[in-house]
A = this chain, B = another copy of it.
Amino acid sequence: MAKTLSATFGLLCAIAGACAPVTAFAQDDEFVPETLTAKAEMDPGPNVFVNVQNWSGGPSVGYIYSAEDLTRKGSVSGGSQSHFTISRDGTTAYMASGYYPRYDSGDGEHVLQIFDVATNTLTKEIPIPYKLAQYTDDLSLLQLSADETFAFVQNGTPATSVTVVDLAKGEVTQEVPSPGCFGIYPLLEGIGFSAICNDGAFTTFVLSDDGATFESQKSQTIFDPDADPIYLSSDRAEGDLLFISYHGNVYRLSDTGGVIKKLSVTPIADGVEGNWGTSGYTVVTYNEANGILFVPMASEHHDGSHYHGSEEVWAYDLRNKALLYRSPLADLVGVAVTDGAEPELYGFSLKNSMVYKFEVDPLARFAAKQVAEHSVDGFATTLMVSP
């Protein structure tokens, strides 16, 4: 019985075939069919953000966990090789990433996306120059100005520059050339930032109020990039900038006055047996209330081991220059601590694909022990905690 079907009829038949099971529902009076919805908002409360960068041509994701117990509450997703940050109050997330429609060939575009954290929704997408750094994420690669009206985006083609984005207007105001410099460390006042340069100096860029022009000042030499290279990772301590070198030397810098000045260098592993060095990516995090720096460290560190996982996390009293405690927390490559009197420490492990919460005891020399964990799928090097 050969026949020729019309395309229209065929498609309708097929739909019927597919949906017949779906359209069937019960006649029983007591049963009320359930409804399918999307949750409107995440549960409230402080959050931990982990930026999972996709290097395989798929979406990067900012995973959002409860800071309480690391329950996974939601996520926002963007393009490839994301850089990520959040607003100070934790209500807004920013992701700079690349979309490559053919994954492995042809042109793409780079965008800065703004997300409402509560609803996990994209609220704005701003095209940026096709120069975004395709680089392992560090918090210094996407930063906001002090008043959070501008975003600074690290470029690398491999020529380096910084794209300045007016967040209210949703447009790029300029591309600041920062040749031989990398990393963005915003000033605490005004519109501007500093960057680490290839000769061990820093350059500070002070922008006009409209973000359209800049002036720059280069510092004296701050560190020796050959003998004592510093990580991109940084945190603030009482308004100063803290960096740490591969070899565990803490550089405390001031950026007031539009130029970086070196305040002190503190070797935290001096006198500790075992050739300890810093180990990880997000390796500088400072608890303000107690003046304690937490650093993932590994023994027998050597050329090339600086991004390996930790053997321990050290609690170092930066005010009294004293190593207080060495918690045996292995395989961490990123740490973040809250600023309160009772610090909460978070960290994650690439090896174990896990994010962890650690309870820190101020009465026990800031010893840290694990109290929660959650799996993280993918490649992450940065994390942040919101109020």
- CB-defined A-B contacts under 8 Å, sample of 9: A1-B218, A9-B179, A11-B179, A12-B179, A13-B180, A18-B160, A58-B103, A79-B102, A99-B103
Please tell me if the beta carbons of A102 and B103 are within 8 angstroms of each other in the complex: no
A101 CB–B CB distance under 8 Å = yes
- Judge whether B216 and A7 touch: CB under 8 Å: no
- How far, in whole Å, are A329 and B57 apart by their CA atoms in the complex? 34
Q: Establish whether residues A59 and B59, one from each chain, have CB atoms under 8 Å apart when the complex forms.
A: no
Specify which of B12, B56, B216 is in contact with A4 (CB 8 Å cutoff): B216
Q: Which residues of A contact B (CB under 8 A)?
A: 1-7, 9-19, 54, 56-59, 77, 79, 99, 101-104, 157-161, 175, 177-180, 198, 213-218, 258
* Residue in B closest to A131 when the chains form the complex, CB atoms: B11
Q: How far is the CB of A168 from chain B (nearest CB, A)?
A: 24
Minimal beta-carbon separation of A61 from chain B (angstroms): 10
Measured between beta carbons, the chain B residues less than 8 angstroms from A58 are 54, 56-58, 103
Q: Are A179 and B217 in contact (CB under 8 A)?
A: no
Task: Say yes or no: A177-B10 contact (C-beta < 8 A), given A3-B216, A4-B215, A217-B2.
Answer: yes
A177 in contact with B216 (CB, 8 Å): no
Rounded to whole angstroms, the CA-CA distance of A14 and B158 in the bound complex is: 8
B215 adjacent to A3 (CB under 8 Å): yes
Chain B residue numbers with a CB within 8 Å of A159 are 10-12, 14-15, 18
What B residues does A6 contact at CB under 8 A?
177
Known: A4-B216, A58-B58. A179 touches B103 (CB 8 A): no
A10 and B103 contacting across the interface, CB-CB below 8 Å = no
- A161, B216: Cβ atoms under 8 Å? no
Q: How far is the CB of A18 from chain B (nearest CB, A)?
A: 4
Measured CA separation A178–B15 after assembly (Å): 11
Cα-based distance from A245 to B54 in the complex (angstroms):
39
The listed residue (B14, B56, B99, B103) touching A160 by CB distance below 8 A is B14
Find A77's partner among B54, B104, B177, B179 (CB 8 Å cutoff).
Answer: B104
Known: A12-B179, A14-B177. 15 other contacts (CB 8 A): A7-B175, A9-B179, A10-B179, A11-B161, A13-B179, A14-B179, A17-B198, A18-B159, A54-B57, A54-B58, A56-B59, A58-B58, A77-B103, A77-B104, A79-B103
A11 touches B99 (CB 8 A): no
Q: A59 — which chain B residues lie within 8 A by C-beta?
A: 56-57, 103-104
A17: which B residues are within 8 A, CB to CB? 160, 179-180, 198
Residues of B within 8 A of A5 (CB): 177, 179, 216
A167 to B180, CA, bound (A): 51
Docked complex Cα distance between A25 and B252 (Å):
38
Q: Report chain B residues within 8 Å CB of A157.
A: 11
A217 near B1 with CB under 8 A, answer yes
| Shortest distance between the CB of A169 and any CB in chain B (Å) | 21
* Measured CA separation A12–B157 after assembly (Å): 11
**Alpha-carbon distance A3/B59, docked complex (angstroms):** 40
Say yes or no: A178 contacts B104, CB within 8 Å: no
Point out the residues of chain B lying under 8 angstroms from A177, CB to CB: 5-7, 9-11, 13-14
Chain B residues, Cβ within 8 Å of A99: 101-103
CA distance A211 to B57 in the complex (A): 36
- CB-based contact B158/A15 at 8 Å: yes
A204 closest partner in B (C-beta): B2
With the chains together, A99 CA to B104 CA distance in Å? 11
A85 to B330, CA, bound (A): 46
Identify the interface centre among A54, A77, A159, A213: most chain B CB within 10 Å of its CB: A159
Is A14 in contact with B216, judged by CB distance below 8 angstroms? no
List residues of chain B with CB within 8 A of the CB of A14. Answer: 158-161, 177-180
